[in-house]
Structure 1
Amino acid sequence: MTSPVWHPFTQHGLGEPIPQIVSASGAWLTCDDGHRLLDGISSWWVITHGHCEPRIAAAITAQASTLDQMIFAGYTHPQAEALARSLVALTPPGLDHVFFSDSGSTAVEVALKMALGHWHNRGEARHRLLVIEHSYHGDTIGTMSVGERGVFNRAYAPLLFDVETVPFPAQGQVQASLDALERLCRTGEKPAAFIVEPLVLGAGGMLFYPPETLRAFAEICAQHDVLFIVDEVMTGWGRTGTLFACEQAGVAPDILCLAKGLTGGAVPLAATLASAAIFESHRSMDRATMFFHSSSFTANPVCCAAANANLAIWRDEDVPGRIAALGLALDEGLATLAGLGRLHNPRRIGAIAAIDMVVPDGGYLSDVAPRLRAHALAQGLLLRPLGNTIYLMPPYCTTPAEIAQAFSVIADAVDTRPNWHTR
């Protein structure tokens, strides 16, 4: 019987198999037929410590039997209070207020609304938003608007608002990118905000840029009194080697977006942290200046409990050590691919490794990606290339032997199937 489920980023007309996953543990997923898959992409970048992590699972179970859900408009609960205080303590200085939501897209939507509301409530006409070329911030209307335009959102163009773009700071083009930001900040109406993915543009192709450039972006924004928004939805919680990517640049943004690994990836929760100045611009005796945003499940107690358990793991265990060891294994794996002529530009930061396949058409809809994904699936590896970009972003519990196994599957696919670039 045909399933009624409509899957995300899936062309059902192609009739590709859709495995049913029935259980998970650590770095492994198990299908209904018993086939096991090594989770090479942390189930879309969310799982950090591993699937069904015992401390997080126990926290979810305990909280679900005590307080499962409640309205958060004008009410609070212990899990949210504890989590907010911990996040303020963990994140860069100056981020004194936490607004909870339920996904990375909504965390960014909240950030954009905070920025525009801030200037509106101060009586300043600031509406311009600046973004980086090739960026991705989500699939809601606002987040698509501040992301790269293309096949992802072409059908929805009438709904999107205009933004202004800074060129991606590729090697040799950093100064041009900084000059463009400077020029946009000086010209015309002063921008409201500049939003960035720090150090890594994920969906844009795992594009890396150095901490020095991120710091320079922040400095230009500070000089021109433009709000600096850092989207750590993917890069946060250790993915780039530090708890947050902006730590490597010594950057304290005006607004910080968190999600994905906030709960260890177990359940959905997001947070947008803002400076005192942004909070105060919304606080007054006038109810018309309050922050008009919410979702039904804002600060869900079960999700907050999972996040608090995740933070306890970061406090109690050597998670940075695991990430460092994982990074060494990823480096070794990339080295095994270096001799394959159809691959180039190997790169790694923290727990993210990527390499590009040389094909005539390297766009997101390249035929290489689904073919490689199918080959990996048959060989017991969950992989989801971005066009011609092959990447691994495994859970931190993944062993060196498992990483070697993943790279072996990739090498076999690339080395033994020389005609994948043709139809």
Structure 2
Amino acid sequence: MNLSEKDQLYNWHPYTQHKTTGLLPAIVKGDGALLWDENGKEYIDAIASWWVNPYGHSNKTIADAIYKQLTTLEHVLFGGFTNKPAVELAEKLLTILPQNQKKLFFSDNGSTAVEVALKAALQYNYNQGIIKTKVIAFEDAFHGDTFGAMASSGITFFTEAFKGSLLEVVRIPVPTKGNETNSLTAIESLIATGDFAAFIFEPLCQGAAGMVMYSAEVLDQMISLCQKHKVFTIADEVMTGFGKTGKTFASDYLVNKPDMLCLSKALTGGTIPMAITSFTQEIFDGFYHDDVNKALFHGHTFTANPTGCAAALASIAVLETQEMQDNIQRIHQKHLVFQEKIQQHPKVKTTRVLGVIFALEIITETQESYYGTMRNKLYNFFIANGVILRPVGNIVYILPPYIITEEQLNKVYAIVEQAVEMV
């Protein structure tokens, strides 16, 4: 048997109905924006492998940093100890995060970064003797698959089986263009009840919803309302962080900075699982007490893993190079040119661009489900043509590694055009 056949025997994949899914390509090598399967077929990774590899596969700078750290100290527990890479990473991140961020809590992935933020918001109030048990989130949000993160998400078929076991979250309309007033009115009325501990959001762009975008101006207003009424604001930057929106963080577009940020995915350049939740000093001080029971009792075995921290430090160094910053702007400009062309197509309903993110919505006669017939047809077409794209229903998005070449990106655009013609 080959790798794909063995995989089918043993492995259970995420977001996969195995009864209706055939053999999956077995990837054996990656370099830059390219991947190769066991049969030698080449793929352009046009979504940076779920948005985690912005600097390309097998990045030598990051690999060298990992190797060096592995030969010095691969791991040490973070409960009761610290380590040099964790201290250096914290020091570095606090120079590039919004200036109100003062403390970092390490975990393993985007979902756990969100869990930490939600637990901190709820327990902060509990520590003060205040009962606030509810959370505000956007409709169609996606914040992860652990219970708090899942509760905060609005894609219902992901959560339907668990709805009786979840944190109470009230969802408000996304403030897309023309819908800003409805969203502002909704959040203002909820805040007035005094029941809400936090408002969580994907700043400026909802990834899993199909790259749904809204303005920094309206989010600024929402954050201002929350902060006036002591409702903590949580920016889930797991997708948007580290250059995706054209700035280091989407929160850099905001005047009013969130109280917490959740980071993962591109944090280590797609090498080692790691996440960080950052906090203001005020939130940290809400747990700083002589009473041990007021500590934040949350932790993970691989918290602040030194090798992951070394990878993150190297990744940030790569991001800050002029070459990488120029690449981000190059991709953004090419997206704008492609948008100008493809938005004229009679089958295209809308297009949108933010930083290196491009999305288009194909016109359909009926509402297309998340993993519906059109989505599967598009996905299979892209894979057959050597391009890795994962449509969301009838929405096709591109979020490539920053090192993708002009030729590779032109091929991605061409395949997307063919796909639009095909459906």
TM-score scaled by length of structure 1: 0.96
SS at match of 2:267: helix
CA deviations 1:385-409 (Å, max 9, x no partner) are 0111100000000122211100111
Moved more, 297-306 or 352-361: 352-361
SS at match of 2:167: coil
SS at match of 2:129: coil
- Whether contact under 8 Å (2:108, 2:303) holds in the other structure is yes
2:330 counterpart of 1:325? yes
- The residue that corresponds to 1:78 in the other structure is 84
- The residue that corresponds to 2:185 in the other structure is 179
- Whether contact under 8 Å (1:21, 1:29) holds in the other structure is yes
- The residue that corresponds to 1:315 in the other structure is 320
Provide the rounded CA distance (Å) in 2 between the counterparts of 1:398 and 1:13.
Answer: 35
Provide the rounded CA distance (Å) in 2 between the counterparts of 1:21 and 1:30.
Answer: 6
Provide the rounded CA distance (Å) in 2 between the counterparts of 1:288 and 1:11.
Answer: 43
SS at match of 1:69: coil
Provide the rounded CA distance (Å) in 1 between the counterparts of 2:367 and 2:280.
Answer: 44
- The residue that corresponds to 1:40 in the other structure is 46
- The residue that corresponds to 1:295 in the other structure is 300
Provide the rounded CA distance (Å) in 1 between the counterparts of 2:420 and 2:377.
Answer: 11
SS at match of 1:151: helix
- The residue that corresponds to 1:202 in the other structure is 207
- The residue that corresponds to 1:111 in the other structure is 117
Identify which of 279, 288, 296 aligns with 1:274.
279
Provide the rounded CA distance (Å) in 2 between the counterparts of 1:339 and 1:98.
Answer: 46
Specify the code of the residue in structure 1 equivalent to 2:188.
E
Q: Kindly state the Cα deviation for residue 177 of structure 1 after the two structures are TM-superposed.
A: 0.6
- Whether contact under 8 Å (2:154, 2:171) holds in the other structure is no
- The residue that corresponds to 1:352 in the other structure is 357
Q: Where do residues 221-300 of structure 1 align in structure 2 (5 Å cutoff)? A: 221-300=226-305
CA deviations 1:180-231 (Å, max 9, x no partner) are 11111112x3421111110001111210001101111111112212111111
Q: Kindly state the Cα deviation for residue 149 of structure 1 after the two structures are TM-superposed.
A: 4.4
Gaps of 5+ in 2: none
Provide the rounded CA distance (Å) in 2 between the counterparts of 1:197 and 1:20.
Answer: 32
Q: Where do residues 392-411 of structure 1 align in structure 2 (5 Å cutoff)? A: 392-411=398-417
CA deviations 1:55-114 (Å, max 9, x no partner) are 101011111121111110110000000001111111001210000001000000000011
The 1:17/1:333 distance shift into structure 2, 3 A limit, reads: farther
Identify which of 5, 21, 29 aligns with 2:11.
5
Provide the rounded CA distance (Å) in 2 between the counterparts of 1:232 and 1:46.
Answer: 12
SS at match of 1:384: coil
2:71 counterpart of 1:65? yes
Provide the rounded CA distance (Å) in 2 between the counterparts of 1:163 and 1:15.
Answer: 33
Moved more, 303-312 or 332-341: 332-341
SS at match of 1:230: strand
2:26 counterpart of 1:20? yes
Provide the rounded CA distance (Å) in 1 between the counterparts of 2:159 and 2:292.
Answer: 36
- The residue that corresponds to 1:421 in the other structure is none
Identify which of 143, 147, 156 aligns with 1:137.
143
Q: Kindly state the Cα deviation for residue 365 of structure 1 after the two structures are TM-superposed.
A: 2.4
Specify the code of the residue in structure 2 equivalent to 1:366.
G
Q: Kindly state the Cα deviation for residue 315 of structure 1 after the two structures are TM-superposed.
A: 3.3
Q: Kindly state the Cα deviation for residue 31 of structure 1 after the two structures are TM-superposed.
A: 0.6
Identify which of 214, 223, 237 aligns with 1:218.
223
CA deviations 1:246-299 (Å, max 9, x no partner) are 111223211111111111122211100001111111111111111110011001
Provide the rounded CA distance (Å) in 2 between the counterparts of 1:206 and 1:179.
Answer: 24
Gaps of 5+ in 1: 419-423
- Whether contact under 8 Å (1:385, 1:391) holds in the other structure is yes
